């Protein structure tokens, strides 16, 4: 695997689940990592759990991707702290409050705006700040975590699926705009065993949103994080606009 030594990465939604494991993988490979999340408690737990040699290479900050000024402040602070920024990973996303239980005609305007605000506007904010010419180092990477429902419908989850389709279109368009300067890719995992997935399992009896997959089990956060680390590395030098 290509060295991450002294490279600098920012992760949104990095205090739990797939984002947390990605942060740990990058730090273990010698990278400097900044983590932004809405949960101050999870951020504190992450930072205090790190070994001394890694905690000095990591800083954490609360914030929401729905707030463009907060996104810009976090990314600018990352550059100020570490001197540069080689890549960004966006794990921030929401399934909505009623995923799997509401048909589209039952979904409120408030629920629609909540999902789209985080999953679409949030990504827009991350991309508009990080992809400005000169903001990231040349030969940089941006990775967004979409969903298998970026490519298919979701029964009783129409707005969620629509938000994931929109995000994929945004990533693929941004990749055409940045070219070789910054590679922009989207990962489309299936059901992954994360705190968010466990919450849905606890909320809905027999919750099973995913169609049958070739590997008949939930994925693990580390399996997604390993691919994200590859896409953030120099080894993905000819991969962009991919999903």
pLDDT tens across the length of the chain (243 residues): 667 999 999 999 999 999 999 999 999 999 999 999 999 999 999 999 999 999 999 999 999 999 999 999 999 999 999 999 999 999 999 999 988 889 999 999 999 999 999 999 999 999 999 999 999 999 999 999 999 999 999 889 999 999 999 999 999 999 999 999 999 999 999 777 666 655 655 666 665 655 567 787 777 889 999 999 999 999 999 999 999
Contact status, residue 213 vs residue 185, Cβ threshold 8 Å: no
Helix %, strand %, coil % of the chain (to 5)? 45, 15, 40
Q: Which residues pair with 59 in a beta bridge?
A: 34
Q: Whole-prediction pTM value?
A: 0.92
Cα-Cα-Cα-Cα torsion 189, 11, 204, 155, nearest 10 degrees, comes to -50
Q: How many CB atoms lie within 10 A of CB 208?
A: 11
Q: Which residues pair with 143 in a beta bridge?
A: 89, 185
Q: Does domain 8-235 have CATH number 3.40.50.720?
A: yes
CA 171 to each of CA 19, 124, 159, 208, 212: distance values in angstroms, whole numbers, following the listed order: 18, 9, 18, 28, 27
pLDDT of residue 216: 78
Joined tokens for residue 207: 């919750």
pLDDT of residue 115: 97
pLDDT of residue 193: 67
pLDDT of residue 1: 62
Sequence spans of domains, the chain: 8-235
- String of b and e for 117-148 (b: at least 16 CB within 10 Å)? ebbbbbbbbbbebbbeeebbbeebbbbbbbbb
């Amino acid at each position: 695997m290509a060295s991450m030594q002294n490279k600098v990465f920012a992760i949104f939604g990095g205090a739990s689940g797939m984002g947390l494991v990605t942060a740990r993988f990058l730090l273990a490979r010698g990278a400097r990592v900044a983590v932004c999340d809405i949960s101050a408690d999870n951020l504190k737990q992450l930072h205090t759990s790190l070994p001394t040699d890694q905690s000095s290479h990591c800083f954490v900050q609360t914030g929401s991707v729905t707030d463009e000024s907060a996104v810009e402040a976090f990314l600018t602070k990352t550059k100020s702290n570490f001197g540069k920024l080689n890549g960004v990973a966006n794990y921030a996303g929401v399934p909505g409050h009623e995923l799997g239980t509401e048909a589209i005609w039952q979904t409120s305007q408030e629920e629609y705006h909540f999902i789209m605000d985080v999953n679409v506007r949030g990504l827009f904010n991350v991309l508009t700040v990080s992809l400005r010419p000169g903001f990231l180092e040349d030969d940089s990477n941006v990775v967004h975590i979409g969903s298998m429902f970026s490519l298919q419908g979701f029964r009783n989850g129409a707005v969620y699926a629509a938000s994931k389709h929109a995000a994929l279109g945004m990533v693929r368009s941004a990749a055409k705009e940045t070219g070789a300067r910054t590679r922009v890719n989207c990962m489309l995992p299936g059901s992954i065993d994360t705190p968010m997935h466990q919450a849905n399992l606890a909320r809905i009896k027999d919750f099973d949103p995913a169609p049958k997959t070739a590997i008949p089990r939930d994925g693990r956060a580390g399996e997604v994080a390993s691919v994200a680390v590859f896409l953030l590395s120099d080894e993905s030098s000819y991969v962009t606009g991919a999903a």
